Chain A
Amino acid sequence: MRLLTHNMLSSNIKGVTNGFPLKIEAEKVVEKEVDMNTDFLKNIFSKIEWKPFVEAAKTLGFSELPEDADSSLLDSHEFLTKFHHALLEIHLEEGALVCPETERKFPVSKGIPNMLLHEDEV
């Protein structure tokens, strides 16, 4: 699971009002190379919730992102490289995503988060 995905997901258990951001419990983190596409980065930047993104990157051991970011940074190649790396190349292979309200764990195994709810959670 890449951090782009993490930034899009929330706990959608019935009754949970604020299921975002999911906390990350990391057991195995791998890096997978992805070709950088600056147009994609520029388009997706405005859709990212920045603070949770920075926190999530730190949890996975990458702390080179600025605490605050606005679109003026998108002209900096250095920033784009870091943004690209954190967004698309850091990959949670094994671990869990934890609902911030209920502590319900959504397991991540073989890189795939299991977001399906139990019968009594829908």
Chain B
Amino acid sequence: MWYMCVFFHRLLDYRKPEVEALAQLFGAFADDNNGDSHSVQWKLPDNFHPDNPFHFVNIPSEDIARDIAKRSILVKGMYEIWGEGTSYEQLEEAVNAYPEERKLPYLTSENTFKINIDSFGKTFTTQEQKELLKRLAFIPFKGRVNLRNPDHNFWFIEIDKYEANNGLPPIVEKRIFFGREVGAADRKLLPTYQLKSRVYIGPTAMDAEMAFLMANQGLAAPGKLVYDPFVGTGSVLVAAAHFGALTMGADIDIRVVRDGRGPDRNVWSNFKQYGLQEPISLLRADNNLPPWRAGLKEVFDAIICDPPYGVRAGGRKSGGRKLLKGVVGPYTVPDDKREGHIPSTAAYSLVECVHDLLDLAAKMLVMGGRLVYFYPVLREEDSPDPTFPEHPCFKLVAVSEQILSFRYSRVLLTMVKVATYTEEIAESARVMHLDFKANHLKWLEEGNLHSAVFAPNKEGENVDLRFSKDSKPKYRGKYV
């Protein structure tokens, strides 16, 4: 059945993938389970711009639509539309023509109700709202009004033309909708989890909204095991644990993962703070040389992470710098100093990091399991559309860009495991990776991304690049 899905006007690229992931999680595609050939049907209201917050989505049942809306971060609500039109007269006609059996159960005297008025790109005065409510008198409501806790919420939504250049997508003509709310978002989630009230955070802690979006892409749920190989202060796993998943995390920096900032300000305390199940395991380990036993495979349901890409924090791996650069001969730790020895680490370029991550995920994810991670992209005027790392075990199902500055963005990639890991596959993945590295990854080599992002403007270059350089239209939602 088609529902109207109204989004918050934020993170435009993340909206549909989130609904699609949740549709999968709540069983909208019951037939097969390998994440393949699943797509949700979308359509736009007549003459609507794709960036606007109003979309129609085909969901098999009202229960699934409600579950999606409740858990989603970017869906404001899902509505069963009773009628729409370009004028009030058309709306009335359409609502009257909508099948009685779909309307009457919600209009009986036993049901309490509330009518909400919403608009996009315009506001209504209280007086105008009263007028609008009077216009809806043609609908035979028999129940009583309850503004605090109604059995059924109805929405009157008007989208009208507005002044150009207000940062919103263009509207061609006025459109009015009336419908019944099927499900609405839980807005308490983000204030509860906002980073500024979290006890232990680091410079690269993932903001709560994005962490929840990542957990949703990873289909975190009770009974599932979610792993973050770059756990840091645990901000991604907090979101996964909120949705009931068991969590595991590793980090190469022992100060971050073990010590934190004292006994009650560490990764564990971040979970206690919200009353969440603490991680099943935290360990100090190197993603380049993971300590998993031979033969261990298919244990994680999702791997969700924000790899270090060397802009705000650089990656490290085992092996001293001197050793790698061949400055001195192989370093041996003297026997009397082995206990308590602090091994030096070497820089870990993103290109190597992504390869290790894909290999780990191919081996350690269950079939149908999801790898969700951020990948940086330089935004250059003449650069072609970015290509993303591939792996024969994975199918890329979602790509969502978040613009961080006019120079670079990060892209949240969601990959579903569709093939079993074998030695042959590992080898072909390595070849694929080398090819990819040779062709696309220049900026991912050590330090390149950092210097590109932080390089001073060239002389004579227009300082206000954001407006002059970018020819594509940008809306408010694209920047937040």
Residues of chain A touching chain B, judged by Cβ–Cβ distance below 8 Å, are 1-2, 4-5, 8-12, 19-21, 32, 34-35, 37, 39-40, 43-44, 47, 49, 88, 105, 109-120, 122
Contacts and interface: CB of A to CB of B under 8 A. Distances in A.
Given A118-B338, A119-B319, A119-B323, A112 B330 contact: no
Contact of A110 (B224, B258, B292, B296): B258
Given A40-B224, A47-B298, A114 B284 contact: yes
A8 B331 contact: no
A4 B281 contact: yes
A9 B292 contact: yes
A119 B224 CA distance: 36
Contacts of B341: 118
B285 interface: yes
Contact of A44 (B257, B258, B299, B320): B299
A116 B254 contact: yes
Chain B binding surface, main DSSP class: loop
B291 interface: yes
B292 A117 contact: no
B285 A111 contact: no
Given A12-B289, A40-B246, A118-B338, A5 B283 contact: yes
A9 B278 CA distance: 20
B248 interface: yes
Contacts of A110: 258-259, 266
B326 interface: no
Nearest to A18: B294
Contacts of B366: 43
Given A47-B299, A119-B323, A119-B344, A4 B223 contact: no
A105 B286 CA distance: 17
Contacts of A117: 286, 289, 318, 343
B246 A1 contact: no
Q: How large is the interface on B (under 10, 10 to 19, 20 to 34, 35 or more residues)?
A: 35 or more
B280 A116 contact: no
Contacts, number: 109
B150 interface: no
B332 interface: yes
B222 interface: yes
Given A4-B280, A40-B223, A119 B343 contact: yes
B351 interface: no
B93 to A, nearest CB: 50
A11 B292 CA distance: 8
A98 B259 CA distance: 22
Contacts of B332: 120
A44 B258 CA distance: 26
Given A114-B284, A117-B318, A119-B323, 8 more contacts: A9-B292, A10-B292, A37-B223, A40-B224, A44-B299, A47-B299, A113-B284, A119-B331
B338 A112 contact: no
Nearest to B268: A111
A20 B223 CA distance: 27
Interface in B239-258: 246, 248, 252, 254, 257-258
A20 B294 contact: yes
Contacts of B323: 119
Contacts of A37: 222-223, 246
